[in-house]
Chain A
Amino acid sequence: MASPAASTTGIGARIPRRELKRLLAGHGRYIDDIRLSRMLHAYFVRSPHPHAKLVSIDVQRASRAPGVAGVLTAVEINPRCEPFVGVALHRAGHRSAPQRLFAAERAVWQGQPAAIVLADSRAEAEDAAELVEIEWQPLPVVADQFQAIAPGAPVIHHGMPDNLAFDFTLEQGEPAKAFAEADVVIEEELRFERQMAMTLEPRGLIADFNPSDGSLTVIHAHQSPFQMQEIFANYLGIPEHKVRVVAPDIGGGFGLKLNVHCDEIATVVASVIFGRPVKFCVDRLESFVSDAQARDHRIKCRIGCKRTGEITAMEIDDIGAVGAYGMPMRFNVAEGMMAVVMTGAPYLFNSYKARTRSVYVNKNLIGMYRGVGMPLACIVGELLTDLAAHELGIDTVEFKRRNYRPKSTLPCVTPGGQRLETVSFHECLERLVGLMDYDKLRREQRELRERGIHRGIGIGTFCEQTAYGPPYYGPSGAAISTQDGCTLRLEPSGSVRCLTSLTDQGQGTLTAVAQIVAETLGIPVDDVSVAGNDSAISTYGGGAWASRGTAVGGEAALRASTILKENILSLASAITQTPADELSLANGQVINSKTGLSVISLAEVGRIGYFRQDTLPKDFDVQLSVNASFVANDKPYYMANGVQASYVEVDTDTGFIRLLGQWAVDDCGRVVNPLLVDEQVRGGTVQGIGAVLFEECIYSEDANLLNGTMADYLVPMAYEMPDIVVSHVETPETSTRLGAKGIGEAGLIGAMGAVWVAVNDALRPLGARITHQPFTPERVLDALARAKLR
Chain B
Amino acid sequence: MGDVELIGDEEVEVVATLNGKPLKRRAKARQHLADFLRQELELTGTHLGCEHGICGACTVLIDGRTARGCLTLTAQISGKSVETIEGLSDNGRLAELQQEFIARNAAQCGFCSSGMLLTAYELVQGGEKLSRSEIREHISGNMCRCTGYHAIVDAIEAVLAKGLR
Binding site for B on A (CB under 8 A): 16-17, 19-21, 23-30, 32-33, 61, 64-66, 123, 127-128, 131, 198-202, 249-252, 254, 283-285, 505-508, 675-676, 678-679, 682-687, 709-711, 715-721, 723-724, 747
Contact = CB atoms under 8 A, between A and B. Distances in A.
Using C-beta atoms within 8 Å of the partner chain, give the interface range for chain B.
Answer: 35 or more
Nearest to B101: A24
A25 B85 contact: yes
Given A61-B3, A127-B6, A686-B149, A20 B109 contact: no
Contact of B153 (A283, A716, A718): A718
Given A66-B6, A131-B4, A682-B148, A284 B50 contact: yes
A26 B149 contact: no
A26 B89 contact: yes
A251 B147 contact: no
B54 A721 contact: no
Contacts of A747: 148
Interface in B15-46: 30, 38, 43-46
Nearest to B49: A200
**Residues of A contacting B: mostly:** loop
A254 B143 contact: no
A723 B89 contact: no
B146 A61 contact: no
B26 to A, nearest CB: 16
B45 A28 contact: yes
Contacts of A507: 108
Interface of B: 1-4, 6, 30, 38, 43-55, 57, 84-86, 89, 98, 101-105, 107-114, 117, 132-133, 135-137, 139-153
Contacts of B38: 32-33
Given A23-B107, A506-B108, A709-B52, A679 B151 contact: yes
Given A16-B105, A24-B110, A718-B136, 15 more contacts: A23-B107, A26-B84, A28-B45, A66-B4, A199-B145, A200-B49, A200-B145, A250-B109, A284-B50, A506-B110, A686-B148, A717-B149, A718-B142, A718-B152, A718-B153
**Residues of B contacting A: mostly:** loop
Given A200-B145, A679-B147, A252 B52 contact: no
B83 to A, nearest CB: 11
Contacts of B4: 61, 64-66, 127-128, 131
A414 B49 CA distance: 43
A716 B146 CA distance: 11
Contacts of B150: 682, 721, 723-724
6 contacts: A16-B102, A20-B102, A20-B110, A679-B146, A710-B54, A718-B136
B146 A19 contact: no
Contact of A21 (B48, B49, B102, B117): B102
Given A33-B44, A252-B145, A682 B151 contact: yes
B109 A710 contact: no
Given A61-B3, A200-B57, A252-B111, A719 B101 contact: no
Nearest to A253: B109
Nearest to A254: B145
